[in-house]
Amino acid sequence: MEKKHQFNLSYILMAILGVLILQNLLMSQFRPRVIPYSEFIQAVVDDRVKEISIGDIAIHGKMKDANGNEFLFKTVRVDNDLATKLSEHRVKYSGEIDNTFFKTLFSWLIPISIFYVIWFFLMRRMQTGAAGMMTLGKNKAKLVGENDIETRFADVAGADEAKEELDEIVSFLTEPQRYQDLGGHMPKGILLVGPPGTGKTLLARAVAGEARVPFFAISGSDFVEMFVGMGAARVRDLFTQARDKAPCIIFIDELDALGKARGAGMVGGHDEREQTLNQLLVEMDGFDSRKGVVIMGATNRPEVLDPALLRSGRFDRQVLVDRPDVNGRKAILDIHAKSIKLADDADLNVIAQKTPGFSGADLANVVNEAALLAARKHKSAVGLAELDEAVDRLIGGLEKKNRVINPKEKKIVAHHEVGHALVAALTPGCDAVHKISIIPRGLAALGYTQQRPTEDRYLMSQQELFSKIDVLLGGRVAEALLEKEVLMEDEFNAMIETGNAADSNHA
């Protein structure tokens, strides 16, 4: 592109130079004849001057030559006193006029050159910039070649059911004839649904890596622009490229940014985002899935998507990518722990049990934080203490060892946390107490009591709910027993009676 601009620049400059030279030649026929000032004076004496125009530095006019032919003349003004003296001494004198051809030439070339340089850089910026006018209609999808994707299903853990669902997509992309012989076809769109950080994008890349096909990755917000029609143009351009690269995968991350339900809270009849969504719906209806173009989307808010986007023939298959269970968390920790050096006491099963509800991204952060803590302590390997500390940092926040707390408040916090721990230890069905701390963490936690569940739970009985309530109230009851000024006596007695009533209900 740059050589083409240089080629055009040379021809433009040559054309401008030729026009100026031609103009100079044509105008030379009508230019006045430059004569010496002494000749002008002599013509005045001989009555051959018809008319003159006196300027600041020159005299223009019309006069006759010796043969009586009229012509235009020009001469430089000379001081009259000096002319008289020179005439008395018979000195031939004349004035000089600067050659204005090159001045005129440069007066044209310099502005034109400045204009062209500005135009050249603006065009180059627009063509190469992400928001350039020449590329507004081009999609912003990042194309990854089939040989550049190194992610495989073995790199994804904690989502076994999702991998089984997506394995059909891999089989269709690698062996499409097997499905076509039976008259079947794969769904045009697969929507990955799940909380943030559960590995939806990683799964999409793993599908492309297993099938060894090109992978178009783009975010839903990349389609929406301030210019009307640009989002729809990018959708058309994306599907055009995908058809040329088939078989391939189009992955639209954060689909809810593009596919929100139309008309929800919008004022007015036109909306650029709705126009972009309409174009996406049309494109999904228009292409043939037998050509091997599979569209995958990811969102953590499927409830806000437009119903037309989820109907049959579009994103009609939804794959849930949920938070991993204890076995999944252990598998994820094993994958991320390959990149660090673990000590002999680093038991990942303990960390997997301590992290219910953690996503894959959270677990990756735990391993990375543990490695940073070990490096800060100048250790040669990451041990269980660093992994445990990393989990506490993610749950409770940064430990504030230097916060100044008076001894009385420390004592109250210690009584409070011990109350939680004692009730948890003495109440049947409660998770075992793992750690007690009175070191402040985060914004407002002055201490905490940590329990470690031995398994993931999805249901809870009434007795287990009452046991959790007892543990939560245990800290306050301990303060009431050991710090009389914390609660009024009647409030304390009411709490004791409530606890006795709850114990009788349990029995």
Rounded to 5 degrees, what are φ and ψ at 169? -65, -45
Active site residue 175: no
Cβ proximity of 139 and 235 under 8 Å: yes
Task: Please state the φ and ψ torsions of residue 271, each to the nearest 5 degrees.
Answer: -145, 125
φ/ψ of 144, rounded to 5, equals -110, 125
Beta bridge partners, 251, equal 217, 296
Backbone φ and ψ for 432, nearest 5 degrees, come out as: -65, 145
What's the CA gap between 140 and 130, in Å, rounded? 8
| The two three-digit tokens of residue 155, written as one number | 């790199």
58 membership: H or E segment, kind and range: strand 58-64
- DSSP result, 156-204: --S-HHHHHHHHHHHHHHH-HHHHHTTT----SEEEEE-STTSSHHHHH
Euclidean distance between CA atoms 324 and 199, whole angstroms: 10
What gap in Å lies between CA 407 and CA 413, rounded to an integer?
Answer: 10
Name the β-bridge partners of 436. Answer: 449
Cα–chain-centroid distance for residue 314? 27
Query: Angle 231-233-234 (CA atoms, 0-180°, nearest 5)?
Result: 65
d(CA 208, CA 14): 54
The one catalytic residue in 417, 464, 485, 497 is 417
Q: Are 126 and 134 in contact (CB under 8 A)?
A: yes
Distance between first and last Cα of the chain:
85
Which residues are registered as beta bridge partners of 191? 297, 318
Q: What one-character DSSP code corresponds to residue 381? A: S
Q: What share of the chain is helix, strand, coil (3-state, %, to 5)?
A: 50, 15, 35
Active site residues: 417
